[in-house]
Structure 1
Amino acid sequence: MNTSQTAGTPVWLILTVLTAYVLLAISTPASGQNKDITVKGKVLESTGKAPVEYATLILKDRDNTIISGTSATDTGEFEVTVPQAPFLIEISFIGFVTREIKLPEAVNGQILLGEILLEQNAQTLAEVNVRGQRSQTEFHLDKRVFNVGQDLSSTGASALEVLNNVPSVTVNIQGQISLRGSQGVRILINGKPSVMASEGGNALGSITADMIDRIEVITNPSAKYEAEGTSGIINIVLKKEDKNGVNGSVTLNGGIPNNHSLGFSLNRRTPKLNLFSQIGVGYRTFPAGYRSVNTSGDSEVESSGSSKMNEQFYNLVLGADYNLNKLNLISVSGLFGFEKETQTSDNHFLLRNAGVTQSGWTRNESTRADNPKWQYDAQYQKSFEDDEKHKLLISSTGNFFAKDQYSDFTHRLSQGVASFTDQKSHTDYGEAEYIFKADYTKPFSKEWTLETGAQYQLNDLSSDFAVQNRQDDSWVTDTHLANIFVMDLDVLAAYATGAYEGKKAGIKLGLRAENTFLDTRLENTGETSRQRYLNLFPSAHTSYKFTSKLSLQAGYSRRIYRPGLWELNPFFSIQNNYNIEMGNPLLTPEYTDSYEITGIYDFSAVSINLGAYHRYTTDAIEDISTVENNIRTTLPANIGTRKANGLELNAKYAPGNRLSLSTDLNYNYFTRNGAYESTVYEFSADQFTSRLTSKLKLPAGFDLELTGNYRSGYRTIQGYVTQAAYMDLGARNKLFKGRAIVNLSIRDVFASRFFETVMHQPDFELYSRRRQGRFVTLGISYGFGKGEAMQFSGQKIF
Structure 2
Amino acid sequence: MKSIFKRSFFAVCLMLVGGLLHSQNGAILITGKVLDYQSQSPIEFATIMVGNSQDNTVLTGTTTLEDGTFSITADTDSIYLEISFIGYVAQRITDFQVQSNKVDLGTVYLSENSQTLEEVVVLAEKSQTEFKLDRRVFNVGQDLSSNGASALELLNHVPSVNVSIEGQISLRGSSGVQILINGKPSVLANDEGSALGTITADMIDRIEVITNPSAKYDAEGTAGIINIVLKKEEKKGINGSISVNTGIPDNHSIGLSLNRRTEKFNLFSQIGVGYRELPQNNNTINQDLLTGTTILSTGTDYRNETFYNFILGTDYHINSLNVLTLSGNFAYEIEEQPSLTNFRQLAGDDLLVSEWYRQENTEATNPKWQYELQYKKDFEDDKDHTFLFSALGNFFGKDQSSAFENATITGSEAPSNQQTATAFSETKYTFQADYTKPFSEKVTLEVGSQYVITDVANDYAVSNLVNNEWVEDPGLTNVFEFDQKVLGVYSTGAYEGERWGVKAGLRMEMTDLSTVLTNTAEKNQQNYTNLFPSLHTSFKVTDRFSLQAGYSKRIFRPRLWDLNPFFNIRNNFSIRTGNPSLNPEFTDAYEINSIYIFEKVSLNLGVYQRYTTDVVEQVSTFENNVNTLRPINIGTNRATGIELNGKYSPNKWLSLNGDFNYNYFNRQGVFEDKTFDFSADQWSSKLTTKIKFPAAIDFEVTGQYNSKYQTVQQAVSDNFFIDLGVRKKIMNGKTILNLSVRDVFASRNRESEILQNDFYIYNFGQRGRFITLGLSYGFGKGEAMEYSGGRRR
Letter in 2 for 1:397: L
Contact 2:276 2:789 in 1 (8 A): no
**CA deviation digits over 1:698-730, x for unaligned, max 9?**
111000001000011111111200010000000
1:387-786 superposed matches below 5 A: 387-786=382-781
Question: Residues 712, 796 of structure 1: CA spacing in aligned structure 2 closer, same or farther, 3 A cutoff?
Answer: closer
State the match for 2:322 in structure 1. 328
TM-score (norm 1): 0.85
Letter in 2 for 1:678: D
Question: Residues 479, 102 of structure 1: CA spacing in aligned structure 2 closer, same or farther, 3 A cutoff?
Answer: closer
Question: Residues 568, 492 of structure 1: CA spacing in aligned structure 2 closer, same or farther, 3 A cutoff?
Answer: same
Letter in 1 for 2:148: G
Task: Determine which of 360, 364, 376 is the counterpart of 2:359.
Answer: 364
Letter in 1 for 2:738: N
Contact 2:152 2:792 in 1 (8 A): no
State the match for 1:267 in structure 2. 259
Deviation at 1:437, TM superposition (A): 0.7
Question: Residues 91, 788 of structure 1: CA spacing in aligned structure 2 closer, same or farther, 3 A cutoff?
Answer: farther
Contact 1:315 1:797 in 2 (8 A): no
State the match for 1:118 in structure 2. none
Deviation at 1:141, TM superposition (A): 2.1
Distance, in Å, in 2 between the alignment partners of 1:751 and 1:598 is 35
Distance, in Å, in 1 between the alignment partners of 2:549 and 2:573 is 48
Distance, in Å, in 1 between the alignment partners of 2:108 and 2:435 is 37
Contact 1:732 1:741 in 2 (8 A): yes
Greater shift in the superposed pair: 760-769 or 650-659? 650-659
Matched, 1:309 2:321: no
Question: Residues 212, 516 of structure 1: CA spacing in aligned structure 2 closer, same or farther, 3 A cutoff?
Answer: same
Greater shift in the superposed pair: 749-758 or 409-418? 409-418
Letter in 2 for 1:587: L
Deviation at 1:310, TM superposition (A): 0.9
Contact 2:194 2:792 in 1 (8 A): no
Matched, 1:224 2:219: no
1:276-291 superposed matches below 5 A: 276-291=268-283
Contact 2:150 2:792 in 1 (8 A): no
Distance, in Å, in 2 between the alignment partners of 1:530 and 1:113 is 63
1:22-421 superposed matches below 5 A: 88-89=89-90, 135-297=127-289, 298-354=292-348, 355-421=350-416
**CA deviation digits over 1:201-245, x for unaligned, max 9?**
311123111111111111111000000000111111111011001
Where 2:141 maps in the other structure, the secondary structure is coil
Deviation at 1:418, TM superposition (A): 2.3
Distance, in Å, in 2 between the alignment partners of 1:562 and 1:589 is 5
Deviation at 1:409, TM superposition (A): 0.5
Letter in 2 for 1:323: H
Greater shift in the superposed pair: 728-737 or 192-201? 192-201
Contact 1:44 1:50 in 2 (8 A): no
Distance, in Å, in 2 between the alignment partners of 1:521 and 1:673 is 31
Deviation at 1:786, TM superposition (A): 2.7
Contact 1:155 1:791 in 2 (8 A): yes
RMSD: 2.9
Deviation at 1:579, TM superposition (A): 0.2
Deviation at 1:132, TM superposition (A): 8.0
Contact 1:249 1:784 in 2 (8 A): yes
Distance, in Å, in 1 between the alignment partners of 2:452 and 2:492 is 21
State the match for 1:788 in structure 2. 783
Question: Residues 113, 743 of structure 1: CA spacing in aligned structure 2 closer, same or farther, 3 A cutoff?
Answer: closer
Distance, in Å, in 1 between the alignment partners of 2:403 and 2:423 is 15
Deviation at 1:643, TM superposition (A): 0.6
Contact 2:151 2:791 in 1 (8 A): no
Contact 1:289 1:772 in 2 (8 A): yes
Distance, in Å, in 2 between the alignment partners of 1:718 and 1:451 is 44
Deviation at 1:271, TM superposition (A): 1.3
TM-score (norm 2): 0.85
Where 1:161 maps in the other structure, the secondary structure is helix
Distance, in Å, in 1 between the alignment partners of 2:691 and 2:117 is 35
Deviation at 1:787, TM superposition (A): 2.0
Where 1:162 maps in the other structure, the secondary structure is helix
Distance, in Å, in 1 between the alignment partners of 2:116 and 2:450 is 52
Distance, in Å, in 2 between the alignment partners of 1:793 and 1:407 is 29
Greater shift in the superposed pair: 510-519 or 267-276? 267-276
**CA deviation digits over 1:555-589, x for unaligned, max 9?**
00000000001110111211000001100001000
Where 2:570 maps in the other structure, the secondary structure is coil
Deviation at 1:102, TM superposition (A): 7.7
Greater shift in the superposed pair: 646-655 or 767-776? 646-655
Distance, in Å, in 1 between the alignment partners of 2:221 and 2:657 is 28
State the match for 1:17 in structure 2. none
Distance, in Å, in 2 between the alignment partners of 1:713 and 1:240 is 40
Contact 1:280 1:796 in 2 (8 A): no
Deviation at 1:164, TM superposition (A): 1.1
Letter in 2 for 1:679: K
Greater shift in the superposed pair: 724-733 or 203-212? 203-212
Question: Residues 339, 91 of structure 1: CA spacing in aligned structure 2 closer, same or farther, 3 A cutoff?
Answer: farther
Contact 2:639 2:665 in 1 (8 A): yes
Where 1:166 maps in the other structure, the secondary structure is coil
Greater shift in the superposed pair: 453-462 or 777-786? 777-786
Structure 1: gaps spanning 5 or more residues: 1-42, 58-77, 115-130
Distance, in Å, in 2 between the alignment partners of 1:338 and 1:467 is 26
**CA deviation digits over 1:292-328, x for unaligned, max 9?**
0011121111111001111111222211100100000
Contact 1:91 1:99 in 2 (8 A): no
Letter in 1 for 2:342: H
Distance, in Å, in 1 between the alignment partners of 2:484 and 2:111 is 59
Greater shift in the superposed pair: 149-158 or 315-324? 149-158
Distance, in Å, in 2 between the alignment partners of 1:134 and 1:751 is 31
Distance, in Å, in 1 between the alignment partners of 2:374 and 2:599 is 42
Deviation at 1:185, TM superposition (A): 0.4
Question: Residues 779, 99 of structure 1: CA spacing in aligned structure 2 closer, same or farther, 3 A cutoff?
Answer: farther
Deviation at 1:654, TM superposition (A): 1.4
Question: Residues 611, 397 of structure 1: CA spacing in aligned structure 2 closer, same or farther, 3 A cutoff?
Answer: same
